[in-house]
Structure 1
Amino acid sequence: MDKLSEQDIEKKLLRYPDWEYFDNAIHAEFEFENFRDCFSAMSRIAFECEALNHHPNWSNVYNVLTISLSTHDADGVTNKDFKLAEAIENIVEPVE
């Protein structure tokens, strides 16, 4: 998997307004109504991570989930990160 250029990353981020690029990764923070809803989203995201064999750096404090994505093998952001970001978006903010 090839590392994306900063220009390619910024272009792709136009589709993901909740995400930002810094420190060689893409980052997002999601706030939920309560801890249960946050943990439920994390559980659903975990299944996507396993399916994609790609795992985020993330943390959770009460109802807030903070996620950072990068591909360690490529030492930066790849299309694999954006594929996972899209899966996360579909879980956190489902399109109706």
Structure 2
Amino acid sequence: MLYMVKLSEENIREWLKLLQGWKYENSSLVKEFKFRDFSASVKFVDLVRPVADSMDHHPDICISYNKVVVTLTTHDEGGVTELDVKLAEKIEELQRYV
């Protein structure tokens, strides 16, 4: 069971050691992914959608040609929770399929 309790900055820093390329900004986990072209960017987002839906937790996603910025936060808790970390881990796995 995932806990919807806001993590401390110390806990977030520990998780970030395991989440390559992710940053903690504005009470959110953020990562920019780079792909070969726009089609690959859209494919990546298409892979993220069902995973996010299955977790009932949806990231903010911005596509700019070959770049996709993913932002994760739990608005109800006002910051990063274990749910955000788990979704970030799953998103990390998806990039290899693009």
TM-score relative to the length of structure 1: 0.94
Residue of structure 2 equivalent to 1:25: 28
Three-state SS of the structure 1 residue aligned to 2:91 is helix
Q: RMSD over aligned Cα, in angstroms?
A: 0.9
Per-residue displacement from partner, 1:44-96 (whole Å, max 9, x unpaired)? Answer: 100101000000111001110001100011110000001110110000136xx
Distance in 2 of aligned mates of 1:55 and 1:27: 13
Residues 9-36 of structure 1: per-residue CA shift (max 9 Å, x gap): 0001100121000110010000001111
Q: Which runs of 4+ in 1 moved over 6 A?
A: none
Count of residues in correspondence between the two structures: 94
Alpha-carbon distance between aligned partners in 1 of 2:57 and 2:66, rounded to the nearest angstrom: 23
1:31-46 matches, within 5 Å, as 31-46=34-49
Aligned counterpart for 2:71 among listed residues 64, 68, 73: 68
Q: Which residue of 2 aligns with 1:3?
A: 6
In 2, distance between residues paired with 1:5 and 1:61? 31
Sequence identity (%): 34
1:53 aligns to 2:53 (yes or no): no
- TM-score normalized by the length of structure 2: 0.92
Structure 2 gaps of 5+ residues are: none
Which residues of structure 1 form unaligned runs of 5+? Answer: none
